[in-house]
Amino acid sequence: MASHIVGYPRMGPKRELKFALESFCDGKSSAEELQKVATDLRSSIWKQMADAGIKFIPGNTFSYYDQVLDTTAMLGAVPPRYGWNGGEIGFDMYFSMARGNASVPAMEMTKWFDTNYHYIVPELGPDVKFSYASYKAVDEYKEAKALGIETVPVIAGPFSYLLLSKPAKGVEISFSLLSLIDKILPVYKEVVAELKEAGAGWIQFDEPKLVMDLDAHELQAFTHAYSELEATLSGVNVLIETYFADVPVEAYKTLTALKGVSGFGFDLIRRTKTLDLIKGGFPSGKFLFAGVVDGRNIWANDLAASY
């Protein structure tokens, strides 16, 4: 049995990132100073996990804001009002989307599932043009590797990303966000190809939307997405991670039927129905990433029960 952790607090033991962000946004410190705090935090976090003996150490879980905004940057899905003209998305554009600037407001923020955290909601429509515009996932994998630490790059999955989005201003509220799945997959393929080239042995796609009630059309879109990615994912181990609740029966069947996926992660703390599904049938030759430590209540966790 090997150990894995879905993510790790990124603020720092003394909330170093919070204070560095506030200082930067108030104009009291430079981008370089903020990046230095971020680099030091990532290094200490990776080393702490490695020293603790965790085998599957998550990478790309650091963020200046949230993982959904990071994915928006990766996909180049910048709303037109920010006047982005392509190229790599830098600090100015990233923080304009997160906080607004003198001329345009920030993007909407909403609750991250049933936690006390929030994420920046992507604004999408039929005319959005996606392009690979933030190399953070690959850069952070290489950064950890240079420290002698092998990480599992964690990327918000394409299915959940679209369902966490909203139709942009002026787009019909009935617009199907999942209709964009074939438009965003080429960027995911580029990221995966670069991670493979850099030597990544595992890649984790977070698909927490799978714990929601989904209809057949949505589950078909999920299957389609990973079928399209299958050839690109060949040669690397893929983990699809879910959390926050049980995975419904049909979603469980859809997920575990995927080819080209090495492992499946489930939250076995909040509910017990997924555990019953696993006992009733789990695909042979696949890894089970069992969520047995409650990330919301680590201080009261019963280690014997987890084991």
Structure tokens at 253: 């069947």
pLDDT for the residue 249: 97
Residues 6+ away with beta carbon under 8 Å from 122? 68, 71, 72, 77, 107, 161, 164, 165, 166
Report residues of the chain scoring pLDDT below 50: none
pLDDT for the residue 164: 98
Q: What is the DSSP string of 165-228?
A: -EEPTTS-TT--GGGGHHHHHHHHHHHHHHHHHHT-SEEEEE-GGGGS---HHHHHHHHHHHHH
How far apart CA 161 and CA 119 sit, in angstroms, is: 11
How far apart CA 132 and CA 140 sit, in angstroms, is: 16
103-112, long-range: CB < 8 A, 24+ apart: 107/69, 107/79, 108/166, 112/66
Amino acid at 307: Y
Structure tokens at 173: 């509220």
How far apart CA 216 and CA 192 sit, in angstroms, is: 27
Tell me how many degrees the CA angle 270-272-274 measures, rounded to the nearest 5. 100
**Minimal CA–CA distance to 242: which of 222, 221, 259?**
222
Give the SS3 label for residue 156. strand
Q: Which residues does residue 263 pair with via DSSP β-bridges, in sequence order?
A: 239, 287
pLDDT for the residue 94: 96
Tens of pLDDT along 69-90?
999 999 999 999 999 999 999 9
If one looks up domain 57-305 in CATH, what number appears? 3.20.20.210
pLDDT for the residue 306: 85
Going from N- to C-terminal start, the domains of the chain cover 57-305
Burial class (CB in 10 A: 0-12, 13-18, 19+), 127: exposed
pLDDT for the residue 17: 97
